Amino acid sequence: MFKLNLKIALRNLWKNGGITSINVGGLAIALAAFILVMMYVTYETTFDKGNPNYDNIYIVGRTMPEFKTNYTPPPLGKAIKQNFPEVMAVGTLKKGGFEFAISSDANTAFASNYLMVDYEAAKMLQLLPNEELAKPANEEGILFFLAKESMMTLFPKKKDDKPELVTLGSKAAGQTAEVKGTISVNKHSNVTFDALSVRKELGKNENYGYNNYNTYIQVKSGTDIAALEQKINTLYKNELIKDGQDVSTDRYKQTTIFLDPLKNQHLKPMAGNNAAYKVLIALSVLAMLILLIACINFTNLSIAQATKRAKEVGVKKVLGVYRYQLTFQFLTEILMQCVVATILGLLIAELLMPKFNALFNVSLSIWSANNALLYQLPLILLAITFIAGIYPAMVLSGFKPSLVLKGNFQTSRNTYWLRNSLLIVQFSVAVIFITSLLIISTQLKYMRTQDVGFNANQVVYIKNIMMFSDPRVFEPVRQKIMRIPGIKSVTVATGIPDGSENGSNGYTVNGVEASIDFLDVDFDYFETLDIKLADGRFFNKAFKTDTANSAIINESAAAKYGLTDPIGKTIRGCSMDYKIVGVVKDFKAQGFETPVQPTLYSIKNPCGNAKTQLMLKIDQDQMSEAIATLKAQWPDINKMDGDNFRYYFLNDLYGKLFQKQEQLQSVFFAAALLTIFIATLGLFAFAKYMTNNRMKEIAVRKVLGASDVQILKLLNSSFFAMVIIANCISWPLAYVLTKKWLETFAYRIDIPVLPFLISAAVTILLTVLTVSIQAAKAVKANPVNALKYE
């Protein structure tokens, strides 16, 4: 019997070949999207999952009054280990902080993500070199490892595992070190690095003031984490007193310890934001919606075809077939189509994989071993078969033979509402995606075209670790650079406008104290970036006081202190009395999401970091020659860090701020395209079916004298109504969703009307077109042919 059912199924699918392939094709495309997203979700949620103690590792962090941080002092870890037996291991880590060069005789590689760990951390977090990690013998022993790529660069011919000698930093400084070996870096981990050093102990002589380490603990299974957190908190406070730290401040009183599980570190760390997590959820929802739409196509078409199959059901029932057998038969038919769709979906996913990987900056592969897809895919297959098939199977198998066999049986009335609602759902989702896509694009266009208050074009940023905090040290460097033709200005600062955050501190003007940002600059900073002056003047070498105590503030700072005439006022902070010599217009150094912070710019700042970030304004026409000359002369210009000239264009760096939004735009573009495509496919097949069904009615109407246009109108009207309803449902939803998204920007557009109108136009046009193509056939057909049958 199964064989016969199979035969019937195949003949049926064959006969309705067009509809079947549309159905299966749409589902395959949706499945491809779903597979990609699911692989990505699996990847993102399983960081460090390979660690055997995955569930028992926590990072120790501190909750401060304004923020949470994972930075802890090194003695804390040791105290935890000594006091709490439930803590099995404590690992301490420290990040290198700056990029440095590693050179062999042959080549130079750069370590931009240097990590220092103690032996226990290396063990706990599985930072294991290719050969067995030996415990460093003595206190001073440092085991230095390099990632494979760097090692290949430095020693291209290396075959053995023997240690090698390298120079660290500038060759002139001549600091050598021994590389113990290569280490494979697990990109699928929260702890990544390109160079790693392992010591017996880290931060040995540092006290509780050195909050620049990370502390990981591994607890025994079943430990009460909340209680342990409390105990560590108490311990921390006591230790601070013992250590002689100032415990009278509010800052101390409000600081508490938290434990954050390793499994949350990648997506939703306590110290940090959960944006990645939200993106992941949004993506999953998108993928599920697309799959749902494809399933709806299936359901819809299966029900639409019910009339054809009704007779088969009726006959089989009077021949003695149970209902469950029929249900099973129809489910099997749908399962067969779903299997084909899944295989096609896998192929499509494979084709799209490179694009997807590039967009999300991952390197996923379908064919990798121990792929979670292995068990996910059969589950999805069953799920979609069930979702898409259960309703039609129930409807079909439930037909009463006495009704069906009467002859003039019509299913359409029973399932009219369901089918129409399903179509409306499909179009609603499509409208939401189109509208959102258009609004996202409008905001992005706004961000790209809006005046950001400074000009990043033709500004070149040069990587450097040499400190140029003192303008007198920098002046000779500037002069050498300025001699190169095409260079218009040169400056150095503690930061560049690429979205990076500035330091903040309390400053007082006229007795008003406020916490504002500060940035340390050199002469020509504002000129290089083409920032507009609102009042007063820029820094100028002609004024001796500018290197001593002059300050420039931005308009936001002036507003924050309520200054109407800031020039000449004294602003006090960081044990300095600055005199305000200028006010600059606000510029969006941090991008569009956060508002421009009130900021103080000064040349001298005892509280600031070292000025290392060089920026050059170069004439566009002489750009390539100027850069070539710079490169050639760099060792001479920057004596201490001149071995390696590396530069970036500032507009590229600033453009990275838009990356996340551009990613979102791409995702919505794909989602909108997919839903429209799949929904239109469904509509196409559905319209085809409906028209075929109404052939006789159309013929009768034509014989009665209806014009072609009247018939086209008749066939279009119900679909037209559905699209209108779908638009009405989706507009408010799209409005709320995009409004929420826009609210994450400090600088944003008002929601425009056009996207709503466009998505309405697009969906209406597509519908009318799709339906009319089908309807035209019916209209053109000779009524005699349709009436001859029966």
Cα 513 to Cα 571: distance, rounded to the nearest angstrom: 10
**Comparison of 2 and 67: residue with beta carbon closer to another protein:** 2
Instruction: State which of residues 15, 135, 448, 739 lies at the interface with another protein (CB under 8 A).
Output: 15
Tell me the two tokens of residue 550.
């002059």
CA 575, 580, 581, 587 torsion: positive or negative?
A: positive
Smallest separation, CB 439 to another protein (Å): 49
Instruction: State which of residues 365, 402, 479, 651 lies at the interface with another protein (CB under 8 A).
Output: 402
Smallest separation, CB 377 to another protein (Å): 31
Instruction: State which of residues 99, 201, 312, 530 lies at the interface with another protein (CB under 8 A).
Output: 312
DSSP, residue by residue, 411-451: -HHHHHHHHHHHHHHHHHHHHHHHHHHHHHHHHHHHHHHS-
**Comparison of 237 and 323: residue with beta carbon closer to another protein:** 323
Smallest separation, CB 4 to another protein (Å): 6
The stretch near another protein (CB under 8 A) out of 27-35, 314-322, 538-546, 661-669 is: 314-322
Smallest separation, CB 408 to another protein (Å): 10
Based on the shown chain and the rule CB under 8 A, indicate whether residue 4 belongs to the binding site for another protein: yes
Based on the shown chain and the rule CB under 8 A, indicate whether residue 400 belongs to the binding site for another protein: yes
Cα 259 to Cα 56: distance, rounded to the nearest angstrom: 11
Cα 426 to Cα 467: distance, rounded to the nearest angstrom: 60
For Cα atoms 702, 704, 706, give the angle at the middle one, nearest 5 degrees: 50
Give counts: helices (H), strands (E), the chain.
22, 24
Instruction: State which of residues 94, 263, 266, 316 lies at the interface with another protein (CB under 8 A).
Output: 316
Based on the shown chain and the rule CB under 8 A, indicate whether residue 247 belongs to the binding site for another protein: no
Smallest separation, CB 753 to another protein (Å): 50
Smallest separation, CB 369 to another protein (Å): 43
Contact predicate 196/115, CB 8 Å: yes
Distances (CA, A) of 480 to 188, 477, 483, 524, 611: 45, 5, 5, 15, 18
Based on the shown chain and the rule CB under 8 A, indicate whether residue 398 belongs to the binding site for another protein: no
Tell me 213's DSSP state.
B
Based on the shown chain and the rule CB under 8 A, indicate whether residue 705 belongs to the binding site for another protein: no
DSSP, residue by residue, 145-170: EEEHHHHHHH-TT--S---EEEEES-
Angle, helix 754-780 to helix 708-742, in steps of 10 degrees: 160
Cα 765 to Cα 769: distance, rounded to the nearest angstrom: 6
Smallest separation, CB 305 to another protein (Å): 12
Instruction: State which of residues 95, 200, 268, 323 lies at the interface with another protein (CB under 8 A).
Output: 323
**Comparison of 252 and 322: residue with beta carbon closer to another protein:** 322
Contact predicate 94/116, CB 8 Å: yes
Instruction: State which of residues 321, 465, 712, 776 lies at the interface with another protein (CB under 8 A).
Output: 321
Smallest separation, CB 428 to another protein (Å): 36
Tokens 């931060």 identify what position?
A: 203
Smallest separation, CB 681 to another protein (Å): 25
Tell me 469's DSSP state.
-
Instruction: State which of residues 6, 8, 724, 768 lies at the interface with another protein (CB under 8 A).
Output: 8
Based on the shown chain and the rule CB under 8 A, indicate whether residue 405 belongs to the binding site for another protein: yes
**Comparison of 2 and 417: residue with beta carbon closer to another protein:** 2
The count of residues interacting with another protein (CB under 8 A) is 25
The stretch near another protein (CB under 8 A) out of 8-16, 55-63, 297-305, 338-346 is: 8-16
Find the binding residues for another protein in span 407-446 (CB under 8 A): 407
Local structure of 729: helix, strand or coil: helix
**Comparison of 307 and 357: residue with beta carbon closer to another protein:** 307
Angle, helix 17-45 to helix 2-15, in steps of 10 degrees: 100
Instruction: State which of residues 68, 171, 231, 311 lies at the interface with another protein (CB under 8 A).
Output: 311
Q: Hey, which residues does 179 pair with through a beta bridge?
A: 164
Local structure of 755: helix, strand or coil: helix
Smallest separation, CB 325 to another protein (Å): 8
Based on the shown chain and the rule CB under 8 A, indicate whether residue 1 belongs to the binding site for another protein: yes
Cα 333 to Cα 353: distance, rounded to the nearest angstrom: 30
The stretch near another protein (CB under 8 A) out of 35-43, 306-314, 436-444, 655-663 is: 306-314
Angle, helix 754-780 to helix 412-449, in steps of 10 degrees: 140
Based on the shown chain and the rule CB under 8 A, indicate whether residue 704 belongs to the binding site for another protein: no
- Return the H-helix or E-strand segment holding 236: helix 225-242
The stretch near another protein (CB under 8 A) out of 241-249, 320-328, 559-567, 646-654 is: 320-328
Smallest separation, CB 374 to another protein (Å): 36
**Comparison of 285 and 315: residue with beta carbon closer to another protein:** 315
Main-chain dihedrals φ then ψ at residue 394, nearest 5 degrees: -65, -45
Task: Please provide the size of the chain in residues.
Answer: 790
Distances (CA, A) of 562 to 1, 398, 511, 594: 88, 77, 12, 21
Distances (CA, A) of 450 to 335, 733, 785: 53, 28, 64
Based on the shown chain and the rule CB under 8 A, indicate whether residue 17 belongs to the binding site for another protein: no
Instruction: State which of residues 169, 401, 635, 655 lies at the interface with another protein (CB under 8 A).
Output: 401
**Comparison of 322 and 416: residue with beta carbon closer to another protein:** 322
In the complex, the residues that contact another protein under the rule CB under 8 A are 1, 4, 7-8, 11-12, 15, 311-312, 314-323, 400-402, 405-407
